[in-house]
Amino acid sequence: MNQYKVLRWGDSRLITPSVEVEDPTGATMKKIIDIMWQVMKDYNGVGLAAPQIGINLRLMIFGLEKSDRYPDAEAVEPTVLINPGWEPLSDEIEPGWEGCLSIPDMNGIVPRYRQIRYWGLNERGEKIEREVSDFHARVFQHEYDHLDGILYPMRIEDLADFGFRTELEASGRFGRNEDIPEE
Ligand code: NI
């Protein structure tokens, strides 16, 4: 089933803003969402935005079970968001390591709002609205950026904070057993 590959940095589809979904509960949408969960699982990601598989729609999925693999990340329930929006709840900005399925083997430090409110429709067309913080807020902002054609390196303030995971690990920039979730 999986002829869908995650597009990689350099593909112009990743820097093209996506368009609103017109029929959130249609059969096509259902199919796309199923494919996205499958791709996210295949690639071991914690989040995926539709443009990452070449689908130019404002749609994202994410979710993470609490695990030792990501000691700094709390669990995030599996979530589908169609036509999402968001706003910061405070001015507080926190730097944190990120990785992206579209930029394999690399990580960088990205500043994100620590507390946000987001909203959107789920796969049944029901409105979801949540106030979240920390890792959950970071995942959302990362995926939302994909919908605007923005990849996380475009938000890194100092490119000294960007590199290959193995080299960053070897240089002690982050813990050897601390995986950075890929989104
Ligand atoms: Ni990403």
Distance from residue 101's CA to the centre of ligand 1 (Å)? 5
Query: Using an 8 Å Cβ cutoff, are 81 and 121 in contact?
Result: yes
Phi then psi for residue 153, to 5 deg, are -60, -25
Edge-first strand order for the sheet with 127-133 is 47-49, 59-64, 76-88, 115-121, 127-133
> Which amino acids are annotated catalytic?
143
Determine the Cα–Cα distance for residues 156 and 64; give it in Å rounded to an integer: 24
> Where in the chain are the domains?
12-170
In the prediction, which pLDDT does 174 show? 75
Does residue 176 carry a pLDDT above 80?
no
Q: Mind listing the pLDDT tens digit for each residue in 97-147?
A: 999 999 999 999 999 999 999 999 999 999 999 999 999 999 999 999 999
Distance from residue 55's CA to the centre of ligand 1 (Å)? 14
Residue with the bigger pLDDT between 178 and 29: it is: 29
Which residue type occupies 121? Answer: L
Does residue 34 carry a pLDDT above 60?
yes
pTM of the predicted model as reported, rounded to 2 decimal places: 0.95
Task: Please report which confidence band the pLDDT of residue 67 belongs to, taking 50, 70 and 90 as the band edges.
Answer: confident
Distance from residue 150's CA to the centre of ligand 1 (Å)? 9
Q: Mind listing the pLDDT tens digit for each residue in 72-97?
A: 778 999 999 999 999 999 999 999 99
Mean pLDDT of the region 16-41: 97
Using alpha carbons only, how large is the chain's radius of gyration in Å? 16
CATH 3.90.45.10 for domain 12-170: yes
The pair of structure tokens assigned to 85 is: 């929006």
Distance from residue 61's CA to the centre of ligand 1 (Å)? 11
Determine the Cα–Cα distance for residues 129 and 26; give it in Å rounded to an integer: 21
Place of tokens 């080299």: 167
Residues 6 or more apart whose CB falls under 8 angstroms from that of 87 comprise 116, 117
